[in-house]
Amino acid sequence: MSGKHDFSINKLGEAKILSPMIANMGRDSFSDFIEDEDRVVFNLETKVEDGRRVSVSEDTLEVAGARRKIYFNPAHVHAAIATCGGICPGLNNVIRSVVRCLWYSYGVHRISGIPYGYQGLLPESRYPIIELNPSLVDDIQEKGGTILGSARGGGDRTSEIVDTLEQLNINILFTVGGDGTLRGAYDIAQEVKKRGLKIAVVGIPKTIDNDLAFIQTSFGFDTAVSLAVPVIRGAHVEAKNAINGVGLVKVMGRGSGFIAAHASLAQSDVNFCLIPENPFDLDGPNGLLSHLKRRLEDRDHAVILVAEGAGQDIVPATGLKDASGNTRFTDIGVFLKEKIEEYFKKEGLEVNVKYIDPSYTIRSAPADSYDSIYCARLGANAVHAAMAGKTELLVSMINNCFIHMPIKEAVSRRNRINTESAFWRDVLENTRQPESMKN
Amino acid sequence: MSGKHDFSINKLGEAKILSPMIANMGRDSFSDFIEDEDRVVFNLETKVEDGRRVSVSEDTLEVAGARRKIYFNPAHVHAAIATCGGICPGLNNVIRSVVRCLWYSYGVHRISGIPYGYQGLLPESRYPIIELNPSLVDDIQEKGGTILGSARGGGDRTSEIVDTLEQLNINILFTVGGDGTLRGAYDIAQEVKKRGLKIAVVGIPKTIDNDLAFIQTSFGFDTAVSLAVPVIRGAHVEAKNAINGVGLVKVMGRGSGFIAAHASLAQSDVNFCLIPENPFDLDGPNGLLSHLKRRLEDRDHAVILVAEGAGQDIVPATGLKDASGNTRFTDIGVFLKEKIEEYFKKEGLEVNVKYIDPSYTIRSAPADSYDSIYCARLGANAVHAAMAGKTELLVSMINNCFIHMPIKEAVSRRNRINTESAFWRDVLENTRQPESMKN
Amino acid sequence: MSGKHDFSINKLGEAKILSPMIANMGRDSFSDFIEDEDRVVFNLETKVEDGRRVSVSEDTLEVAGARRKIYFNPAHVHAAIATCGGICPGLNNVIRSVVRCLWYSYGVHRISGIPYGYQGLLPESRYPIIELNPSLVDDIQEKGGTILGSARGGGDRTSEIVDTLEQLNINILFTVGGDGTLRGAYDIAQEVKKRGLKIAVVGIPKTIDNDLAFIQTSFGFDTAVSLAVPVIRGAHVEAKNAINGVGLVKVMGRGSGFIAAHASLAQSDVNFCLIPENPFDLDGPNGLLSHLKRRLEDRDHAVILVAEGAGQDIVPATGLKDASGNTRFTDIGVFLKEKIEEYFKKEGLEVNVKYIDPSYTIRSAPADSYDSIYCARLGANAVHAAMAGKTELLVSMINNCFIHMPIKEAVSRRNRINTESAFWRDVLENTRQPESMKN
Amino acid sequence: MSGKHDFSINKLGEAKILSPMIANMGRDSFSDFIEDEDRVVFNLETKVEDGRRVSVSEDTLEVAGARRKIYFNPAHVHAAIATCGGICPGLNNVIRSVVRCLWYSYGVHRISGIPYGYQGLLPESRYPIIELNPSLVDDIQEKGGTILGSARGGGDRTSEIVDTLEQLNINILFTVGGDGTLRGAYDIAQEVKKRGLKIAVVGIPKTIDNDLAFIQTSFGFDTAVSLAVPVIRGAHVEAKNAINGVGLVKVMGRGSGFIAAHASLAQSDVNFCLIPENPFDLDGPNGLLSHLKRRLEDRDHAVILVAEGAGQDIVPATGLKDASGNTRFTDIGVFLKEKIEEYFKKEGLEVNVKYIDPSYTIRSAPADSYDSIYCARLGANAVHAAMAGKTELLVSMINNCFIHMPIKEAVSRRNRINTESAFWRDVLENTRQPESMKN
């Protein structure tokens, strides 16, 4: 079972306490409890070897879920949760689910909400910790955003954060966030170990771009795609109603074009789906502008859907970074609008470009039902993992199973669209755009 | 009955033909037909004069609706409809209603859709006229925009347009558009008269800003307000979730702030509603920035809703005009975002401004039920007016009555929010913003 | 100025206290305050008399709104609000608006929410009074229903209710409800007068059916129509997808068919709009069933929209009454479904009737933006009236003006669709159903 | 590799023609084509055997997708598609996707839409076959239902159906439908084989209940859950606003409670989720009624969500069957409403039950973005399978992979909620209902 990726999960110690789900709730059957030995296949592909069909990989993943025995005495638990980075549909659902599962399933009644992500754990924070309970989180999921507030940065001040955890006697820390947040969580877990503390650090991965590896779909992603659809529909109407109308929509997706690609499949009006994974030229006989011209000559209108990270090789760099340390991108939408207008002016053709950037209205929305269900279960599984004394892990869904993944593995690579996959071919066949727009 | 505003309506001639609604449909009662003598009060206000309470004005308006007798023989009618200017929710509903009323109620079967507004009537137009019938318009109202396309300009080439009308034997022209479109329609009607032609020119007023005088509410306005609401809600979430978050939303409203003001009443999260009718200072002790700072000190977040025409006295002018001849505005949203960020940087306070400009997604949406009902009735009334041989008029709703209004009167002034009215006071009490932000 | 309907409003006494809006808020202009002399025309129609065009009626209405002087000292006010009868979109908006206007504009800080309508004022009520303030009502408008709960009946126990008002020292009572509720309010006001008390009783009319006279449109009505639209669309899909499919939808409307008629204009798929005002036969050559058969022969599918009070002359009576004393109707939808199935079975034709009754999902929804704006202003105007010492009135909107109406007049008749009006003709032309389906 | 479930797929013959995707579209890479040898793991679970971790099952599934070589010459293909049974969100998306993939990716231009399911293939059908092309299906996905119409039954008249296929020279048949439809497709495929014909029969599984085995999630299911949410929210409002209010909602789910269970996770207001897999008693100390009474005593209101097939052991049987041969259920919603009212009457407690049955409004809706994406890909994969000459299979998604499944296996068992699973535990913890309500 060894190998490069054994995906085994760290523990603070042996889980020895009978879970209150069994002890108090009179369950007559245990079959819905998960054993640590329950592991599922990671890579579904198979090959034929010596006449036998076998998996291409022996990697397996630990199944998430409630355990018969837990590590922490619920009466001694002080759990904390922080939401970091940009907002995303589903954050409040996750908070609610974590609080309810701790409270009702385990009897944990000391739960702290950390304001504004890691910033709220820094010594200079002027924002009070929020005491959480089921009544306070009762219908927070009906609002977008996070009741705790969210902010970038601060996660690199590991030592100060662990000082705060110690001072507050926090022994379970849930951090909801993306790549940077999870790296921060990993560092915190290392510092915790170094100090010999018993603090479980459990990450709940958040990326509206869906670009974290080892996560089938991140929460908020389905909502984001569904909210992009009416925006694209509007862009299509604008395009059709103007002489040589071009509807241009920018959606989120810094390193990956998942939202753009899915929205192109969900809404049939997109003619050009531009993603970071599929570089394109503007000029030249096979460049975007030539293809756009042909499209307008044929059909009088066009819709372009562009991920914010697409074409970053052809735009001038800003040279700036945000508080999370991410490169600040040049606005590809504004850039394309200008280039298109310039090109058609030179070509002597009227063109009417309508540019729409819906990002804030998408990410601030409440979760749709798909994400609501997902978050309800994700939060509960994070609690089960923490109560079992597991640490340095994140809770995730792969192949439709909730599983545990070591944080270190999870942040080691990114999820990107494979432009040689059936999925991307389905997108191309839907938009009917050229396979490549490189000369 | 004479006076400055007798609001009497021009006719091409006497209506002598029995309406097919009576002749063919076997109606047993005529009481739902309108007489030209049916006139309604325009100004509802009253005063006491000589001990008697009388209207403050004797102005009355001709009631719109189906007449017993019509001017045109339906078999000889070739009607045309053009949609001009920016798109607006409800355009397809109006087209549909005009076509269906002509076809089913009057038996008119020659109906032409003019592509791209007045442009489609110019000699050089390369877009074909679209033959309209009930089947073609069956469910067009489920889509935003206009199936005819829309464009700005061209309405000043009166003589060429009337040439085209003559060549096509069009004897009823419906023009759907704003101020400029209606002026164009008036000029066309004058030219028609000069040439001794019998062409009825009927305007259907369109302005998503709701800024046409003599029109209670323009179609598309209700939809625009309702679609602004979730955008403001999103801005509020963004504002609440960030440290000193400021959600900044720009809505349509060049000369008037109706969308902004109504949306502020519909959605309670707005703290500052900025409209063209209520100038404000940025700086100084009573300027917007000081008030914003106080708000952030008190509540950590704020939502600003700004009409696109607000603050045009404090922004640098662009010096540009669009194809309709309207001044191109400096983007007040972008300007405010920069000024706010600059100000708080100087004040040494973190601020997070999230700017949202939803305009295209709003104006490209299909009409909501309110506007659908309104457009269904508006289009029918336009047809009734035209078939009765009335011309140089527009169909409008005032005091909840459909009425006829001479175009000349209608374009003589604009509708603006009275900042001394109970309506604006209700807005101020809802946002709890200062009555004035001038120093 | 006298006459049968002088619509003059009762007062508890002279308003002598300067309004805090003027005293405290430093307003520099008074022009947005309303004078009691401000009256508007009620009936817009005019006629020619002695060569002069005059109003057909001299009735005028008192304009609602904030007064310069008020009757009650805000420090002495204990206001209460009760919501009665069935729920309706906008109730929470009204509560919120009343509370905020009392609190912020007048400085009234004693506001009681009465639980479950008049029931909450009865001596045996076991539900506690709810203390209201701006923070408690902050975003209640985002939820449907009423935070106070609502119930039918109890309004006839006038003496006990006034006892409770006295015991609680309530001097302003807002009652939100329909016909029965308003009659109750009138009786309470009479009892108050008889006892020489100074309690202002202000009604806020509520009827999702829009069937109260002297009210242009009741709150919740626009929302109800807009929510009926997707249901009708669904019924149309069901009808089109089945062999001889009939989509049958029942909407609210006991004595009037406003929701059905408006929804038929808003959604073009309705073929038969059945309302109480337009009786119809089932059988016979001109009955509904014959027309339905012809429609199915022509087009294979049909959509019927029926108001709950339609056809009550052809269904068997239940003989029952609800707690408000309203006759319990036989379900016309179920009845029609059976009759249609029976008829086509006899005719030997396959028919697939899909019956949908969406009532609870409609009335429990939050208010749309139109109703939100309306309720925000309605509640404020109710407060202005009460603070000015006016009583026995309801606040209403007629001809787009907020006005005061004596309760006694308001409950004296009902609002019904005039089947000889242009409005109903527009409905008929949209559905293309026969003008009459009586033999 | 053999065993009980080798899931191998039948073929009409060798695929020898180079796919036009390669031949005509100048693709430079083949890596996005699927080989028949590509198979994926079916059961993800693993176990330890001889110190090695191995899959618990060696079953693998053939991966769906475009093949390098196809069986049918596109110029010779006449494809047909039929939609059977009740309507479901996504049907039009599937039709559109099948048509577009045939047309654009393979150059198949003869595509027939069969009206009203198998009925349209029967000799006596009076409905014309519909010729399909990309323009006709351009935006059909924006409407609910199926443009082909749908009907139950007829699938057992195998011989006549194959006669029709022969007469029409159809060589590819897509059938979209549930259990019964798929059994019919299997029988057709058998008859085709017996006659030595070369007709590919490909099933596209449809069940809004999500109750087909070997299918991760059926299309339309996500939409159904998302549309159940506002209905439950409405029921909750109704319940909270009445004295002892009980909101009772019935959702689809004959043999399985997937919609009810997912909706209970998506919308937190459900207190009792009743599904066919978890039988319950009405009476007795642990019956539903006792628990409901306790809930009302505690909280004054309750929401019950019941799947239509729940409690069929406690209702009187109808003894009827529908045209598909399914047992006609007694309406559990109506039954529960009566029983609850009866019980509380006996207990002397006021109760207000509001019963909502939204089924038609849910199943007639257009697909949401999740289902739109799914259907777009499902339809394309069905085409790829058929063009490759595969038959007697259905296209499905398992473990997030599109795969081929022999029809015979697919219809051999049903998908039901495992009440001993973590999923069901998550539901119970969300509703906080008793694990069992059997005495």
- Across the C/D interface, how many CB contacts are shorter than 8 Å? 84
- Which helix (H) or strand (E) segment is A181 a member of? helix A179-194
Three state DSSP letters for D5-56: CCCCCEECCCCCEECHHHHCCCCCCCCCCCCCCCEEECCCEEEEECCEEEEC
Chain C 362-381, CB below 8 Å of chain B: which residues?
368-370, 372-373, 376-377, 380
DSSP secondary structure of A365-388: SPP-HHHHHHHHHHHHHHHHHHHT
Judged against a pLDDT cut of 60, whether residue A25 lies above it is answered with no
The catalytically annotated residue of A209, A211, A269, A371 is A209
How many Cβ contacts (< 8 angstroms) between chains A and B? Answer: 84
Residue D321 is given by DSSP the state B
Q: Which among C187, C209, C211, C222 is annotated as catalytic? A: C209
pLDDT score, position C62: 96
Q: Which of B426, B432, B436 is the mutation pick for testing C, counting most C CBs within 10 A?
A: B426
Higher pLDDT, A57 or D431: D431
Q: With beta carbons less than 8 A apart as the criterion, state whether C72 and C389 touch.
A: yes
Q: How far is D6 from chain A (nearest CA, A)?
A: 11
Angle at C324 between CA C322 and CA C330, to 5 degrees: 35
Pick B231's closest partner by Cβ from A146, A247, A361: A361
Nearest to D54 by CA among C33, A55, A300, C30: A55
Whether residue D389 is predicted with pLDDT greater than 50 in this model: the reply is yes
Instruction: Return the pLDDT at B190.
Output: 97
pTM of the complete model: 0.95
A324 close contact with B: CB closer than 8 A: no
CB < 8 Å & 24+ apart, contacts of C286-294? C286/C434, C286/C436, C286/C437, C286/C438, C286/C439, C287/C437, C287/C439, C288/C437, C289/C339, C289/C340, C289/C343, C291/C433, C291/C434, C291/C437, C292/C246, C292/C340, C293/C343, C293/C344, C293/C347, C293/C349
Q: How far apart are CA B439 and CA B431, in angstroms?
A: 20
- What is the distance between the alpha carbons of residues D252 and D358, in angstroms, rounded to a whole number? 9
- What is the per-residue pLDDT for D49? 85
**Interface contact A40-D39, CB threshold 8 A:** no
What's the pLDDT band for A412 if we cut at 50, 70, 90?
A: confident
Nearest residue of chain C to residue D147 (CA atoms): C241
What is the band of C51 on the pLDDT scale with cuts at 50, 70, 90?
A: confident
* C175 neighbors C203 (Cβ within 8 angstroms): yes
Q: Which residue has the tokens 């060549």?
A: B167
Torsion, Cα A309 A310 A314 A319, to 10 degrees, reads 0
Question: Does A266 have pLDDT greater than 90?
Answer: yes
In C104-259 the beta strands, taken as DSSP E runs, fall at: 111-114, 130-131, 172-177, 200-205, 245-251
Average pLDDT of the segment spanning D78-93: 97
What pLDDT is attached to residue C30? 46
- Judge: A400–D216 Cβ closer than 8 Å, yes or no: yes
Q: ipTM for the complex?
A: 0.94
Taking alpha carbons only, the member of B405, B386, B434 closest to residue B111 is B386
Q: Is D266 exposed, middle or buried (0-12, 13-18, 19+ CB in 10 A)?
A: buried
* Of the candidates A293, A323, A321, A381, the residue with the CA atom closest to the CA atom of residue A94: A381
Interface-testing mutation among A83, A241, A362, with chain B (most B C-beta atoms within 10 A):
A241
Asked if the Cβ–Cβ distance from D358 to C361 is below 8 Å, we say: yes
**DSSP 3-state percent helix, strand, coil across chain D (nearest 5):** 35, 20, 45
Contact B364 A234 (CB under 8 A): yes
Please name which of D29, D354, D425, D13 lies closest in space to residue D200, comparing C-alpha atoms. Answer: D13
pLDDT digits (tens, 9 = 90+) for A205-240: 999 999 888 899 999 999 999 999 999 999 999 999
For residue A4, what pLDDT is reported?
A: 54
Closest by CA to C315, choosing from C324, C325, C327, is C327
Is B36 marked active-site? no
CB atoms within 10 A of CB A53: 16
**D143-156 residue pLDDT tens:** 999 999 999 889 89
- Measured in residues, chain C has a length of 439
Task: Assess A387–D contact: CB distance below 8 Å, yes or no.
Answer: no
pLDDT (mean) for D361-370: 97
> In the beta sheet, which residues pair with residue D404?
D62, D395
What mean pLDDT value characterizes chain C? 93
Average pLDDT over residues C83-97: 97
Report the half-sphere exposure of B396 (CA within 13 A, side-chain side).
Answer: 31
The answer to whether the CB atoms of A376 and D430 lie below 8 A apart is yes
Both structure tokens of A371 = 């994400």
Q: What percent of chain C is predicted at pLDDT more than 90?
A: 82
Regarding predicted confidence, which is higher, A33 or A307?
Answer: A307
From the candidates B28, B32, B163, B209, give the one annotated as an active-site residue: B209
- Say which residue, C28 or C269, is predicted with more confidence: C269
Q: What is the pLDDT of residue A23?
A: 63
Residue in chain B closest to C26 (alpha carbons) equals B435
H or E stretch including C223? helix C221-241
Closest Cα of chain C to B90: distance in Å? 11
Residues near B390 by Cβ (< 8 Å), separated by ≥ 6? B9, B10, B11, B12, B200, B202, B404
Tell me if residue B247 falls in helix, strand or coil. Answer: strand
Mean residue pLDDT of chain A comes to: 93
Whether residues A44 and D399 touch (CB distance < 8 A) is answered with yes
The confidence score (pLDDT) of residue A427 equals: 95
Residue of A41, A422, A425 with shortest CB distance to D41: A41
Place of tokens 């009772």: D248
Residues 6+ apart with CB under 8 A from A139: D268
To the nearest 10°, the Cα dihedral for A177, A179, A185, A188? -140
- Over residues C384-395, the mean pLDDT reads 98
Work out the minimum CA distance from C433 to partner chain D, whole angstroms. Answer: 24
Report CB contact under 8 Å: D420, A268: no
Distance CA C288, CA C343 (A): 11
Asked if D197 has any chain A CB less than 8 Å from its own CB, the reply is: no
Chain segment D328-349, per-residue pLDDT in tens: 888 999 999 999 999 999 999 9
Residues of D in contact with C229 (CB under 8 A): none
Which pLDDT score, from 0 to 100, does residue B24 have?
53
**What is the pLDDT at residue A186?**
97
Whether C115 has a pLDDT exceeding 50, the answer reads yes
* pLDDT on residue C56: 86
Indicate which residues of D carry an active-site annotation.
209
Q: Determine the pLDDT at residue D203.
A: 98
Region D120-128: mean pLDDT is 95
Tell me which chains share at least 3 CB pairs under 8 Å with chain C: B, D
Report the C-alpha gap between D120 and D83 in whole angstroms: 10
**End-to-end Cα separation, chain C, in angstroms:** 47
Query: Is residue C266 pLDDT above 80, yes or no?
Result: yes
- What is the pLDDT at residue C112? 98
CB contact under 8 A, A364 and B237: yes
pLDDT computed for residue C23 by the predictor:
63
**Mean pLDDT of the region C103-125:** 97
- pLDDT per residue rounded down to tens, chain B (439 residues): 344 577 899 999 999 999 988 765 554 454 578 999 999 988 899 888 888 888 888 889 999 999 999 999 999 999 999 999 999 999 999 999 999 999 999 999 999 999 999 999 999 999 999 999 999 999 999 999 999 999 988 989 999 999 999 999 999 999 999 999 999 999 999 999 999 999 999 999 999 999 888 899 999 999 999 999 999 999 999 999 999 999 999 999 999 999 999 999 998 899 999 999 999 999 999 999 999 999 999 999 999 999 999 999 999 888 888 777 778 888 999 999 999 999 999 999 999 999 999 999 999 999 999 999 999 999 999 999 999 999 999 999 999 999 999 999 998 888 999 998 999 999 999 999 999 999 9
The chain A residue lying nearest B351, using CA atoms, is A151
B 12-51 near C (Cβ less than 8 A): 25-29, 31-32, 34, 37-41, 44-46, 48
